[in-house]
Structure 1
Amino acid sequence: MNQKKSFWSDNSGNFGLTFGILAVPVMMAGGLAVDYVGLSVEKGELQNAADAAALAVAREGNISKDKALQIAKHIFAANYGFTNAEVSVELNAGIADVHASIKQPLVFGGFMGKKQAPVAVNAEATYAYTNYEIALVLDTTGSMAGGKLSSMQNAVIGLVDGMTSLGLEKEQIKFALVPYAGFVNVGPDYGPKINGLGEIVKPGADWLDQDAKAPVPQSDLPSNFSRFAMYKHLNVKWPGCVETRIPKKNALHDVDDTVPDVADVNSLFTPFFAADEPDTAWRYPNSYLPDDGTPIKARNATEADKEKQLSRYGQTGPYVTPKDTVDAIAQTLKWKKPKIDNSPSQYYSNKKDPKGPGFGCEIEPLVPLTSKASDITKTVKNLEANGSTNMLEGVMWGWRVLSSREPFTDGASEGDGSVEKIIIFLTDGQNSFGNLNNDLGSGYTSMGYLVDGRLDGLTAASSGQTNNALDKKTLTACTNAKEDGIEIYTIRLEEPDVSTGTLLSECASSKSHYFDAPSRSQLAPIFDAIKKGVVKLRLTS
C-alpha cells in the first residue's frame, strides 16, 4: 500500500514532461526571432540601397522617368546585390522618390505556412538649399589647339548644361568663365575714353591704373607714362588684358585678392602694353616700329634712356613729365603717328598673330558671374588656342570673379554658408615665363620682360628657375584662395610633367579634387564626376 502511494506521489519527471510539451513553441519562437533579425538586417540593407539610389537619381537632375529607373535599378543590383528587387521611381519638383521591395525567405516561417515575407522601403532625396558660384578657369594656350580644345569645350558645356538642368532656381547657380594663356583679358570696355590729346574724357573702371601711377618697371616706357594714351596715339584699341600686380612689403597683390585702392597705387591693375622690340631678325617676336637709331636699352635703362626711346613711337618734341590725367602726348603736342607693321609675327612656330601693342592678348575676355548659362556656353564655343601658360593669372582671376571684392563684386559675401564657391581649373601644360635668348630675356609677359625683374627680382635666369618661381606663386595663390573659402578642383590634361602634377594636386582642395587626364577622351567623365562632387544633396525621408 505504501509503495502504491509513493508511485502516485512521485513528481520527479514533471520537468521533463513539461519541457517536452513546451519545446515545440519555444523552438518556433526562437526560429521566428532568427527570421525577424534576418528581416531587420535585410530591410536595413535595402534602405541603404534605396537611399543611395534616390541620391543618385536626384543628382542627375532633370531626366526621364525611364532613365531614373535605370539608374536606381543599377544601384540596387550592382552596388548592393539586390538583383530581384522590385523598384519604382517617381520624380516631382526636384525630388526623387524611390520605392523598393523584396521577398525575403523565412527559415522557420514555413512551419506556419509562410515561406517568404515582404520587405519594403521608401527613400526621398532632394537638393540641399545651396547656391553655387562656379568659376571655370580654362587653359587656352597654343598647345590646346585641335582635339584637346574641342574636347574641353564639349566637356565644359556638358557640365554647364548638366548643372542648369538640376531644377534649381535661376539665382541658385551662377557661372563665371576665365580663359587664360599668358594673360587674362578682363574686357576692353572697362578702359577709359581718351581724346586725341591723350586726356581722359570718360573714366574707366576705378580699379584700373588709368593715370599710370603705379611704379611698374618697364624697359621701354618712362614711369607714369599713360599706356591708354599711347594706344590712342597709335590708333590701336586696348585689347583688355592686364598685368600681374606688384607686391609691396606685406601687401601681396600678386597672390592675394587685395582690394584695388587708389591710396595704394600698387593695388591697381596696370593695362597691358606690349612694347615695340628691337628690329634684330629672329631675336624678337614683336618689332612693329622701326628703331630709327634708338633701339631699346634693355638692361639698366634710366628714365632719360626711356624718354629718348619714345622717338620710335612718334615723339618729335621734348619730353614733359605728365601731370594728373594728362600724359606726355597731350603736353608736348609734338607727336606724329608712326606706321605700325602689324603683319603676322613669324617668330613662334605656333603663333602667327599680328604684331603691335596688343601682341600677346589674343584671348577671349572673361565672363563675370552670371545666371545666364547661355553667356558661358557661347563664349566657350568661341575659345581659340593661343599663347603660353600662366597658371598664376588663371588662378587669381578665377578667385577674383568669385569674390565680393573689387574688381568684380558679383560674388556672395565671404563667409556666407549658403553659397558654394568653386574653381574648376584646367591646364595642359607647365607654367612658362617664355624665356628667350635675347637682351630682354623673354617675350613680353604679364610681368613684363625678364630683365624688368618683376618675378622675384630675377633678371637673368634659366627657364627652370622662372618656371619654378611661377609654380611657387601659383601654389601660394591657391592656398590663399582656399583659405578664403574657395573650393578648388584641378585637371591636368595630357601633361606628363611630374612637378605640374604635384602643383595641381597641392592646389586642389583635396586629393579627390585633383584629376589627371592622360587622354582628352577622359574629360567628359571627369567633368561629370566633378558635377556629382559639387552638387550637395540631402535625404528627406
Structure 2
Amino acid sequence: DRVDSSSRPANNNWDVDAPVSSGASDAARQRYMPKYFDWVNKVTPAYGMDAGPNTSCSTTAITPLTDVSTTAGATLIKNAIDAMADDGATNVPEGMAWCWRTLSSTAPFTEGRPETERGNDKVLIVLTDGANTYYTPTSVTAQTYSGTNWSSGGNDLAGSKAIYSALGYVVPYSNGYSYGRMFLGTDVTKDDYSNANYTKAMNEHFTALCNNAKAAGIMVMTIALDLDATKTAEKTQMDALKACSSDSRFSKDKTDPSKPMKLFWNSTGATLSDDFKAIGNELSNLRIVS
C-alpha cells in the first residue's frame, strides 16, 4: 500500500496496477478496472469480506419474495437469514429500497402480485438497530494487514472522501459530475465531507423513499431496535422511522384515540418478540378488513 504523509495505509489493499504507469495519480490507479480481470478467471478471485479491492462489494444477493407457506420456501428463507453476516455501515434507505423492489411486480424482481390486484396489500417492514452511517476513509481504522499504522485510520490519497459502499465514492473521479450519488436530490451542503453530513444526506434519502413508497400504496411498518433516544443521531433515526410508518387501519393511538396508531415500534431485545406478535396481529386484521 501507498501511505500518506501521516503514514496511514489505504483501508484496503490495492490490486496490481500494471499496465498503469508508475506516475499515474492515485485516483487513476483506483479506477483502473482491467486489474480486476484476468484472461484465465475472467474476474480476479474474491478476497475476504473486508479484504482487498472488493471491500464492501461481497454482499450476498438479496432473496426474492418467497412463499413461506411451503416447506421449501420456509427453508430457503431461514437458510438465507442464517447465512447473513453484518458488515460495514448502516444504510436504512438502501435496505428499504431493495425490499420495495422485491414486493413490486416489475423488474428487477417479478414475484410480487400486480399492484392493481384487488385485495392485495403490500407490506414493507423496516427494522434497524442503528442510525444511517457512511464513513470517510480517515475516520475508520484500516485493515491489520494494510500497514504499520493501520490503527490510525486509512488514507484517502485518491480523494474519494468515502469508503466505497452502496452509494459509491462521494467525489466522483470524472469531472463530468459535480458530486456523487450521496448528495443527489438532497439539500445538504455539497462540499461538507464529514460523517455527520453523510448521515444527514442519507436521512433525506430515507424520508423521500418513505413518502414515495406510501404514495405508491405500500404499507410501511418500522421498528427501532435498541436505539438510544439520548443520542442525537439515534433519536433522529427513531423520529424518521416513526414519521415513515403508515397509519394503522384499525388500531387507535393509545394517547389520542381520535388518531390512528402509527405502525412504529420502539423495541428492545426483550420486547422484540412481543412486538412482532403485534405486527402479526396487524397483518391478520388486514386480511379481515381488506
Q: Which residue of 2 aligns with 1:310?
A: 32
Instruction: Supply the AA of the counterpart residue of 2:133.
Output: S
Contact 2:224–2:265 (CA<8 Å) still a contact in 1?
yes
Contact 2:127–2:223 (CA<8 Å) still a contact in 1?
yes
- 1:279 correspondence with 2:279: no
Q: CA offset at residue 471 of structure 1?
A: 0.6
Q: 1:512 to 1:358 in 2, by over 3 A?
A: same
Percentage of matched positions with identical amino acids: 25
Secondary structure of the residue aligned to 2:100 is helix
Q: CA offset at residue 313 of structure 1?
A: 2.0
- 1:375 correspondence with 2:76: yes
Q: Residue 243 of structure 2 is aligned with which of 506, 509, 518?
A: 506
Distance of 1:340 and 1:425 partners within structure 2: 34
Secondary structure of the residue aligned to 2:224 is strand
Q: Residue 385 of structure 1 is aligned with which of 77, 82, 86?
A: 86
- 1:461 correspondence with 2:193: yes
Distance of 1:311 and 1:415 partners within structure 2: 43
Secondary structure of the residue aligned to 2:266 is strand
Distance of 1:486 and 1:285 partners within structure 2: 39
Q: Which residue of 1 aligns with 2:119?
A: 418
Distance of 2:35 and 2:162 partners within structure 1: 22
Q: CA offset at residue 436 of structure 1?
A: 2.7
Contact 2:17–2:32 (CA<8 Å) still a contact in 1?
no
Q: Residue 227 of structure 2 is aligned with which of 495, 501, 505?
A: 495
Instruction: Supply the AA of the counterpart residue of 2:104.
Output: S
Q: CA offset at residue 363 of structure 1?
A: 3.3
| Structure 1 residues 343-394: Cα deviation after superposition (integer angstroms, max 9, x where no partner) | x6xxxxxxxx352343213433211112122221221122222221111211
Instruction: Supply the AA of the counterpart residue of 2:269.
Output: R
| Structure 1 residues 224-248: Cα deviation after superposition (integer angstroms, max 9, x where no partner) | xxxxxxxxxxxxxxxxxxxxxxxxx
| Structure 1 residues 203-232: Cα deviation after superposition (integer angstroms, max 9, x where no partner) | xxxxxxxxxxxxxxxxxxxxxxxxxxxxxx
TM-score, normalised with respect to structure 2: 0.68
Task: Give the gaps of 5 or more residues in structure 2.
Answer: 68-72, 139-155, 173-178, 185-189, 229-233, 248-260
Q: Which residue of 2 aligns with 1:366?
A: 62
TM-score, normalised with respect to structure 1: 0.38
Secondary structure of the residue aligned to 1:419 is coil
Q: CA offset at residue 337 of structure 1?
A: 9.5
Matches within 5 A, 1:85-484: 279-280=2-3, 282-290=8-16, 293-294=22-23, 296-298=25-27, 310=32, 313=35, 342=47, 353-371=49-67, 372-437=73-138, 438=156, 439-452=159-172, 453-454=179-180, 455-456=182-183, 458=190, 460-484=192-216
Segment drifting more, 479-488 vs 287-296: 287-296
Q: 1:294 to 1:421 in 2, by over 3 A?
A: farther
Q: CA offset at residue 446 of structure 1?
A: 1.6
Instruction: Please provide the CA RMSD for this pair.
Output: 3.3
Contact 1:422–1:487 (CA<8 Å) still a contact in 2?
yes
Q: Which has the higher strand share?
A: 1
Distance of 2:91 and 2:65 partners within structure 1: 22
Q: 1:514 to 1:311 in 2, by over 3 A?
A: closer
Q: Which residue of 1 aligns with 2:282?
A: 533
Task: Give the gaps of 5 or more residues in structure 1.
Answer: 1-277, 299-304, 315-328, 345-352
Q: CA offset at residue 433 of structure 1?
A: 1.7
Secondary structure of the residue aligned to 1:394 is helix
Distance of 1:391 and 1:487 partners within structure 2: 17
Q: Which residue of 2 aligns with 1:515?
A: 265
Q: 1:417 to 1:289 in 2, by over 3 A?
A: same
Q: Residue 524 of structure 1 is aligned with which of 273, 286, 289?
A: 273
